[in-house]
Amino acid sequence: MTASFERLPATAALELLSVGDLRVAGRLTEASNATLYCRVATAGAEAACVYKPVAGERPLWDFPDGTLAGRELAAFVVSEALGWGIVPPTVYRDGPFGEGMVQLWIDGDPEVDLIGLAGDRAHPGLRRMAVFDAVINNSDRKIGHLLPTREGHLYGCDHGVSFAEDYKLRTVLWQWQGEPLTAEALEALESVAAELARPDGPVATELGRHLTGSEIYALRRRVELLLAHQVHPYPSPDWPAIPWPPV
């Protein structure tokens, strides 16, 4: 049986990704790090997924080696804590080329104009994503990382270069800069702040497996600042505001 996330409950999708037989079907050659298209299957379900092994990560000057897959998992944890389901179901597990990130494949709606979508000011999912990116300090939100589905949900992918201690927000979603955060966003941020304040809670515990103590502290401070100022952040004058290429 082949299943997509829209047909699988979230818990079932995570179970499938965690324990299913992972088989490589191909490679996404445009990715800068090893990104493998796979099938994951159990006796009762099968789905497509993306597998990014730690062994295939290209060293970066501003992120410690071997941490990008863990940051992808951390982004999923924060997405779930916000309650917005921005990041597709993601696990960290062993695979054919060692430990890495495994994420459910999302079939985007080919009829959506992604460039037009990226500039939309009225799309609630896009605005949630802008807040999410500010929380995780995403330094690479490109237009091609937007995954709108036929069912109307908006996902985002490729969050490996996130959670830096220094402010490095780099995104194509600046259309709300300086504007007040929505009541929905403030409520979600309050929930995340409460979770991060519990060092033995499930969110902080899982983040502690993939981020340093300093990075978790910086994450908590970003949430606190968003709640204190209650506005969408501005670009940094010391860091490029938009990733290149933006698509």
In a domain, 184, yes or no: yes
Q: Report the alpha-carbon angle 61-63-67, nearest 5.
A: 135
Q: What is the pLDDT of residue 5?
A: 46
Q: Which two tokens stand for residue 67?
A: 């941490």
In a domain, 189, yes or no: yes
Q: What is the pLDDT of residue 82?
A: 98
Question: Phi and psi at residue 23, in whole multiples of 5°?
Answer: -125, 130
Give the total number of structural domains in the chain.
1
> Which region holds residue 148: left if phi is over 0, alpha if psi is between -120 and 50, else beta?
beta
Q: What is the pLDDT of residue 6?
A: 46
Rounded Cα–Cα distance for residues 83 and 96 (Å): 32
In a domain, 182, yes or no: yes
Q: What is the pLDDT of residue 199?
A: 92
In a domain, 237, yes or no: no
3-state secondary structure of 65: coil
pLDDT tens digit string along 62-111? 899 889 999 999 999 999 999 999 999 999 999 999 999 999 999 999 99
In a domain, 241, yes or no: no
Mean of the per-residue pLDDT values of the chain: 94
Q: Supply the CATH number for residue 123's domain.
A: 1.10.510
Q: What is the pLDDT of residue 7?
A: 55
Q: What is the pLDDT of residue 65?
A: 87
Low-confidence stretches of the chain (pLDDT < 70) are 1-8
Q: Which two tokens stand for residue 234?
A: 């501005």
In terms of residue numbers, what domain contains 206? 10-229
